[in-house]
């Protein structure tokens, strides 16, 4: 059984067992340093990484430096390319997490200069080894590849975000480290989606763990295939032969589909622009197509809400997160649909969706960040509203003006 479980792990990422083992050891070492010395006390230089000015129409890409290349170091290397000459790359879609919870890692540029330090949030630190295991390509990560200390650079790069994510060979969606039985949820999704791997996959949650019976897995798969709708939970569970209410699976699945990634502004745009995407959670991976289609079927049949019926009220059908329509009315609907999504800066309610707008609207909204001006967002909202008024019927725009918590400093005609 142990050998089977090791084989199963090898199906998660397309790399050798030795390479993945080395990457996981790297992660464990860093987490240990994070809790004790925060990695910066003695072994790393004190100077912060200095970004060169990014040339026009360029992109920085991240290479993860493996430990054997830099003894006792887990570092990052940034290379700069003209967009037209950039190699195939992947882009990361994730939640930053708390900016105060950071670790300093060594970072090099292509100049091969001495290592300096760069701040990495805890969520990204957890992701790095798995990103390397999931991708042999360079990776674009906004928190690292954009000079976050420069409002000017952010103002230049944000209008190119649509091109970055649209050109990425693959978007890697990092939902976070394992937790709340996420391994169980991801393994069940993979079992349903990949029939040829079912015998191997079920070792992780059937015997010896006893979490699910093979017959229950088959019943769940059949219910999704047939579009069964759960109305009377107790009766339908008995009739279908699926796990009873209170089973770990029925809390694991809604917990997975309600991770913070699903409630952010920027992630909405990022997945809409992706040509191809893979969902990562801990050391589990599944194609976005599988994650999206199975999530919608679980929600439509009510299987996703057996132990969490209130979750339906805040669930956005994942089928809506694809094939964006780039016209004014659709963009307006995207903005209104994302009104309750979270973002760090108020301006990002517009900037974080701008790549989905038609070109005629993008040209009218200048991306400007200014941390010294707390009311900068007001000018952004005004510009966006004026752009909409030129593209859309007046009544369409004005229907969004009312808001119980509307910011008092905004013009009365400007939606919040």
The verdict on residue 338 lying in a domain is: no
Q: How sure is the predictor about 404, in pLDDT bands with cuts at 50, 70 and 90?
A: low
Residues 355-360, mean pLDDT to the nearest whole number? 91
What is the pLDDT, as a whole number, of residue 209? 59
What is the pLDDT, as a whole number, of residue 412? 73
The verdict on residue 170 lying in a domain is: yes
Which of 21-25, 90-94, 355-359, 363-367 shows the lowest per-residue confidence on average (mean pLDDT)? 21-25
What is the pLDDT, as a whole number, of residue 163? 94
Examine the domain organization and report whether 222 and 271 are in the same domain. yes
In angstroms, rounded to a whole number, what is the distance separating the alpha carbons of residues 214 and 5? 17
Its pTM stands at 0.85
What is the pLDDT, as a whole number, of residue 129? 84
What is the pLDDT, as a whole number, of residue 72? 36
The verdict on residue 331 lying in a domain is: no
What is the pLDDT, as a whole number, of residue 386? 92
Examine the domain organization and report whether 232 and 275 are in the same domain. yes
Examine the domain organization and report whether 36 and 166 are in the same domain. yes
Examine the domain organization and report whether 145 and 188 are in the same domain. no
Residues 48-70, mean pLDDT to the nearest whole number? 79
What residues make up the domain containing 142? 2-174
pLDDT per residue over 187-229, tens digit each? 999 999 999 888 888 777 765 557 888 899 999 999 999 999 9
Q: Calculate Rg over the CA atoms of the chain.
A: 23
Examine the domain organization and report whether 48 and 68 are in the same domain. yes
Residue the block writes with tokens 């752009």: 387
More reliable by pLDDT, 337 or 393: 393
Examine the domain organization and report whether 139 and 8 are in the same domain. yes
Examine the domain organization and report whether 189 and 151 are in the same domain. no
Q: How deeply is 89 buried, as exposed, middle or buried, from its count of CB atoms within 10 A (0-12, 13-18, 19+)?
A: buried
Cα 37 to its chain centre, rounded Å, is 29
pLDDT surpasses 90 at 8: no
What is the pLDDT, as a whole number, of residue 321? 74
The verdict on residue 325 lying in a domain is: no
Residues 173-200, mean pLDDT to the nearest whole number? 93
DSSP assignment letter at 286 = E
What is the pLDDT, as a whole number, of residue 57? 92
Which residues have C-beta within 8 Å of that of residue 112, sequence separation ≥ 6? none
What is the pLDDT, as a whole number, of residue 254? 95
Q: How deeply is 153 buried, as exposed, middle or buried, from its count of CB atoms within 10 A (0-12, 13-18, 19+)?
A: middle
Cβ atoms within 10 Å of 325's Cβ, excluding its own: 13
What is the pLDDT, as a whole number, of residue 5? 35
Examine the domain organization and report whether 170 and 189 are in the same domain. no
Instruction: Give how many domains the chain has, as a whole number.
Output: 3
Which residues have C-beta within 8 Å of that of residue 160, sequence separation ≥ 6? 59
Integer angstrom CA distances of residue 98 from 63, 101, 123, 260, 264: 24, 6, 9, 12, 14
In angstroms, rounded to a whole number, what is the distance separating the alpha carbons of residues 207 and 192? 18
What is the pLDDT, as a whole number, of residue 7? 33
* 369 neighbors 345 (Cβ within 8 angstroms): yes
What is the pLDDT, as a whole number, of residue 42? 35
The verdict on residue 131 lying in a domain is: yes
Q: For 298-321, b where at least 16 C-beta lie within 10 A, e where not — what string?
A: bbebbbbbbbbeebeeebeebeeb
| 370: Cα within 13 Å, side-chain hemisphere | 12
Residues 344-373, mean pLDDT to the nearest whole number? 91
Which of 30-34, 231-235, 255-259 shows the lowest per-residue confidence on average (mean pLDDT)? 30-34
Look over the chain and give the mean of its residue pLDDT values, rounded to a whole number. Answer: 82
In angstroms, rounded to a whole number, what is the distance separating the alpha carbons of residues 117 and 377? 31
Which residues have C-beta within 8 Å of that of residue 349, sequence separation ≥ 6? 265, 335, 338, 339, 343, 377
What is the pLDDT, as a whole number, of residue 330? 82
Integer angstrom CA distances of residue 29 from 17, 23, 36, 195: 18, 10, 11, 36
Residues 251-266, mean pLDDT to the nearest whole number? 94
* 261 neighbors 95 (Cβ within 8 angstroms): yes
pLDDT surpasses 70 at 18: no
The verdict on residue 295 lying in a domain is: yes
Angle at 172 between CA 105 and CA 31, to 5 degrees: 30
Examine the domain organization and report whether 190 and 158 are in the same domain. no
Examine the domain organization and report whether 13 and 130 are in the same domain. yes
Residues 150-154, mean pLDDT to the nearest whole number? 94
Examine the domain organization and report whether 222 and 306 are in the same domain. yes
What is the pLDDT, as a whole number, of residue 15? 42
What is the pLDDT, as a whole number, of residue 110? 66
pLDDT > 70 in the chain, percent: 80
Most confident of 67-76, 172-181, 363-372: 172-181
The verdict on residue 327 lying in a domain is: no
Residues 392-411, mean pLDDT to the nearest whole number? 72
pLDDT per residue over 83-124, tens digit each? 999 999 999 999 998 776 788 888 887 655 667 888 889 999
Q: Could you tell me which of 139, 162, 158, 156 has the C-alpha nearest to residue 270? A: 162
Examine the domain organization and report whether 197 and 152 are in the same domain. no
Q: Phi and psi at residue 63, in whole multiples of 5°?
A: -110, 135
pLDDT per residue over 118-148, tens digit each? 888 999 989 988 888 888 899 999 999 999 9
The verdict on residue 410 lying in a domain is: no
* 354 neighbors 324 (Cβ within 8 angstroms): no
Cβ atoms within 10 Å of 138's Cβ, excluding its own: 23
Residue the block writes with tokens 């295991």: 133
């Amino acid at each position: 059984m142990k050998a089977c479980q090791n084989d199963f792990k090898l199906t998660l990422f397309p790399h050798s067992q030795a390479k993945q083992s080395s990457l996981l050891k790297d992660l464990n070492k860093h987490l240990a340093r994070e809790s004790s010395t925060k990695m910066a006390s003695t072994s790393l230089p004190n100077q912060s990484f200095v970004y060169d000015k990014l040339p026009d129409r360029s992109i920085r890409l991240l290479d993860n430096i493996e430990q054997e290349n830099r003894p006792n170091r887990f570092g990052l290397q940034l290379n700069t390319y003209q967009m037209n000459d950039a190699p195939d790359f992947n882009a990361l879609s994730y939640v930053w997490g708390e900016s105060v919870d950071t670790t300093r890692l060594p970072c090099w540029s292509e100049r091969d200069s001495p290592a300096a330090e760069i701040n990495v949030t805890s969520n990204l630190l957890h992701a790095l080894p798995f990103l390397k295991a999931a991708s042999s390509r360079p990776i674009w990560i906004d928190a690292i590849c954009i000079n976050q200390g420069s409002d000017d650079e952010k103002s230049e790069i944000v209008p190119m975000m649509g091109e970055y994510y649209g050109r990425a060979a693959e978007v890697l969606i990092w939902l976070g480290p394992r937790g709340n039985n996420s391994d169980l949820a991801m393994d069940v999704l993979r079992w349903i989606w990949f029939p040829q791997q079912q015998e191997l996959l079920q070792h992780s949650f059937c015997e010896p763990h006893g979490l699910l019976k093979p017959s229950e897995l088959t019943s769940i798969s059949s219910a999704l295939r047939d579009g069964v709708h759960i109305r009377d939970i107790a009766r339908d569970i008995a009739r279908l032969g699926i796990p009873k209410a209170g089973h770990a699976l029925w809390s694991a699945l809604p917990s997975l589909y309600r991770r913070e990634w699903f409630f952010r502004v920027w992630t909405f745009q990022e997945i809409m622009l992706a040509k191809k995407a893979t969902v990562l959670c801990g050391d589990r991976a599944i194609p976005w197509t599988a994650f999206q289609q199975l999530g919608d079927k679980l929600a439509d049949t009510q299987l996703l809400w057996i132990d969490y019926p209130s979750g339906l009220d805040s669930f956005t059908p994942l089928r809506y997160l694809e094939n964006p329509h780039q016209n004014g009315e659709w963009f307006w609907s995207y903005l209104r649909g994302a009104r309750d999504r979270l973002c760090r800066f108020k301006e990002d309610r517009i900037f974080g969706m701008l790549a989905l707008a038609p070109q005629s609207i993008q040209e009218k909204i200048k991306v400007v960040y200014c941390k010294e001006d707390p009311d900068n967002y007001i000018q952004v909202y005004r510009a966006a509203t004026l752009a909409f008024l030129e593209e859309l019927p007046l009544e369409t725009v004005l229907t969004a003006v009312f808001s119980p918590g509307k910011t008092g400093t905004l013009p009365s005609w400007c939606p919040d």
